[in-house]
Structure 1
Amino acid sequence: MLRRLVFLVLVLVGAAAAFLAFSWWGGGPTEEETGVIVAEGTSVAALGEQLAEDGQIDLSPGLWRLNARLFGGGDPIRAGEFTIPPGTSAAGILDIVQHARPVQRFITIPEGMPSVLVRERVQATDLLVGEAPLPAEGTVLPQTYSFQRGDSRAAVIARMQEAMSQTLEELWPTRTERSVVETPAEAVILASIVEKETAKPSERRMVAGVYSNRLRIGMKLDADPTVIYPITKGKPLGRRIRRSELNDVNDYNTYAMAGLPAGPIANPGRESIAAVLDPAETDALYFVADGTGGHVFASTLEEHNRNVAKWYEIRRRRGEM
């Protein structure tokens, strides 16, 4: 009788062990690739409840917790988004969130992108949720940002704005005596013009130097991008600027007034902000395109007019005039 009882107990223990093993290492219930987002600070128990609720494991949260304790090792689970192949066992899922690299998703905001296009880009980014708000011009720092599936578009834009605030706080103390901006807000305004005027990083400080010289003596900036901004809010104009637009008096048209425009005309990058805080030491007051993607600078109007004539000749040879 005792032998039969012992045998029965052994059978039951073996069956229980087999059940635990199968529930842990046996194939999972999913038939397609799925994903799991593990929030910072999620416990193993909470993860089990999340997986059970989402149908990614076919054992109870209690059994998940027991198996994880018995067979899962002591490695911590990692925060982030993870890809789960179809049919992955509970053991496999735990191994993934303990050791696999989280999925990386990125959105890039180029230097000089206006806020209307920032909003469009964030709104068009899949896997984010909610509506993208329109950030105030000049409040977004252009760079590449990571995000996770399910992040809100508003939260992503808020991180972009926080990055700009931190960058301004970091760079403002680097302002030199050659800089004419008196506040971080003015730095962003002037940097946005520099950003739109040159695509060559090596020219940023020189362009900033020219505009700083003009502001210092009360000379108009005559910056084409400031004329375009009230018309398109920073989007490409798609045509040449009309004479009536150059003559239009508004808070942005630097052909019609001296000083800085009322606000930024784009979201400037870190290097353009640094350039207006430490502009090149130069006596140049003018610049014009040189036909190679850069500009040629001049200190006198006479010299500038010669450079303009050369640029017009280049454009005529190209059939642009």
Structure 2
Amino acid sequence: MWRNIASNFLTLFIVVLALFAGVIAWGKREYAGPGPLTQAICLEVESGSNMRRVSDKLAGDGAISNAQIFRIGAEYTDKSDQLKAGSFLVPEGASMEEIVDIVTRGGQSTCGTEVVYRVGIAGQEIEVRELDPASGQFEEVVEFDPAEAEAPAEYAEVREAADTRYRIALAEGVTSWQIVEALRQADFLDGEVAEVPAEGTLAPDSYEVRPGAARGELLAAMQARQEERLAEAWAARDDDLPVETPEEALILASIIEKETGVPDERGQVASVFVNRLREGMRLQTDPTVIYGITNGEGVLGRGLRRSELDAVTPYNTYRIDGLPPTPIANPGLDSLMAAVQPAETEFLYFVADGSGGHAFARTLAEHNENVARWREIEAQQAGQ
């Protein structure tokens, strides 16, 4: 009899153990497998929230199949106490495991409202935009120039929201003065700027910032990024460059940046200046002359006068040999690389071709023909 009881108990234990193992396997599949979400959503995690609240919200939004499994999985992977506040994009079909990673990995929010402050050569603008989870695309809410227009009501609303993200986007070719003046207009930043950083030392890029971030610290981050880029470019430089220091490479890169807005042309433009330096020819580039007039403080807004082209100044490359004494703007990484790895050409001249790019020439005769064609295009445009 006892033998039968022991046998039955053992059988029951095995059955229970098998059921338990099955439940665990099912839970793992539920946790790691594709989720039921049929369309991406924005999940807002409030400050001070916990996994129970988040799991209940996800279950209510149809993003997970079982709130308890979500919490058990987070606890089992030691992520229950790593929850981050913010607005996060939960993609279609995301597993519970993926969602736990999204809300615990940290960093900037990935969904919701974003304020993008664009600092360009001709001015600046603030764009408020909202991410559409379904398309994954941002949709513009409002756009305005903080230097000229009063902030609209839509901007005031998002400024009060705790989960609004902020980003500053610097265009390639902006000057240090333009950047500092634009940052002073940004009402979501704090702190004074003691002095304008040296020209060329700020990296054009996109910078995530938090409300109240110090302007000085942001400028320091821009400087650190540009130092890294310049060091990277200089380490990869060609052997026979006619520039001897990283600082000279930075100056050359700034001229390349201001001479063309066509990415594919940077290497050719760089080759013209490098070839001229090798031949002992003057660079003869208008942007350096303009910088000598404006000191990088705004846009000239008119053509150069003959007296300005004839004046002997440190930045008039029609009258001086070699490079000007400093950069004339803040070049991006592509222009830095073009300066140290120029295209191999015999070009010594270039002029606008009417398409937004340039026509390049090896000889003065070819260049004069290109200039004549450009004059015809200018005349036709003036007559329209």
Task: Compute the displacement of 1:289 (Å).
Answer: 0.4
| 1:146-185 CA distance string (max 9 Å, x none) | 1111110000010000000011112211101353221110
| Whole-angstrom CA distance in 1 between matches of 2:360 and 2:380 | 22
Task: Compute the displacement of 1:124 (Å).
Answer: 1.5
What are the within-5 Å matches in structure 2 for residues 78-227 of structure 1? 82=86, 102=109, 103=163, 104-132=165-193, 133-227=195-289
Contact map agreement 2:166 2:210 (CA 8 A) in 1: yes
Q: Which secondary structure does the structure 2 equivalent of 1:107 belong to?
A: strand
| 1:256-294 CA distance string (max 9 Å, x none) | 111000100000000000001000101110000000000
| Whole-angstrom CA distance in 2 between matches of 1:117 and 1:77 | 40
| 1:284-321 CA distance string (max 9 Å, x none) | 10000000000000011011111101100110111179
Task: Compute the displacement of 1:82 (Å).
Answer: 4.5
Contact map agreement 1:227 1:252 (CA 8 A) in 2: yes
Number of the residue aligned with 2:81: 76
What are the within-5 Å matches in structure 2 for residues 1-321 of structure 1? 75-77=80-82, 82=86, 102=109, 103=163, 104-132=165-193, 133-234=195-296, 235-319=298-382
| Whole-angstrom CA distance in 2 between matches of 1:316 and 1:173 | 46
- Cα separation, partners in 2 of 1:202 and 1:99, compared to 1, 3 Å: closer
CA root-mean-square deviation: 2.7
| Whole-angstrom CA distance in 2 between matches of 1:114 and 1:296 | 27
- Cα separation, partners in 2 of 1:224 and 1:125, compared to 1, 3 Å: same
| 1:189-217 CA distance string (max 9 Å, x none) | 00000000000000000000000000111
Task: Compute the displacement of 1:78 (Å).
Answer: 5.8
| Whole-angstrom CA distance in 2 between matches of 1:180 and 1:241 | 29
Task: Compute the displacement of 1:233 (Å).
Answer: 2.0
Structure having the larger proportion of residues in strand:
2
Contact map agreement 1:178 1:279 (CA 8 A) in 2: no
Q: Which secondary structure does the structure 2 equivalent of 1:318 belong to?
A: helix
- Cα separation, partners in 2 of 1:253 and 1:76, compared to 1, 3 Å: farther
Contact map agreement 1:286 1:301 (CA 8 A) in 2: yes
| Whole-angstrom CA distance in 2 between matches of 1:185 and 1:99 | 39
| Whole-angstrom CA distance in 2 between matches of 1:250 and 1:213 | 23
Task: Compute the displacement of 1:255 (Å).
Answer: 0.7
| Whole-angstrom CA distance in 2 between matches of 1:305 and 1:170 | 38
Q: Which secondary structure does the structure 1 equivalent of 2:319 belong to?
A: coil
- Stretches of structure 2 that go unaligned for 5 or more consecutive residues are 1-45, 51-77, 88-102, 110-162
| Whole-angstrom CA distance in 2 between matches of 1:105 and 1:75 | 28
TM-score, scaled relative to structure 1? 0.70
| Whole-angstrom CA distance in 2 between matches of 1:284 and 1:150 | 50
| Whole-angstrom CA distance in 1 between matches of 2:335 and 2:289 | 20
| Whole-angstrom CA distance in 2 between matches of 1:278 and 1:251 | 26
| Whole-angstrom CA distance in 1 between matches of 2:360 and 2:237 | 23
- Cα separation, partners in 2 of 1:75 and 1:264, compared to 1, 3 Å: same
Contact map agreement 2:257 2:332 (CA 8 A) in 1: yes
| Whole-angstrom CA distance in 1 between matches of 2:356 and 2:213 | 39
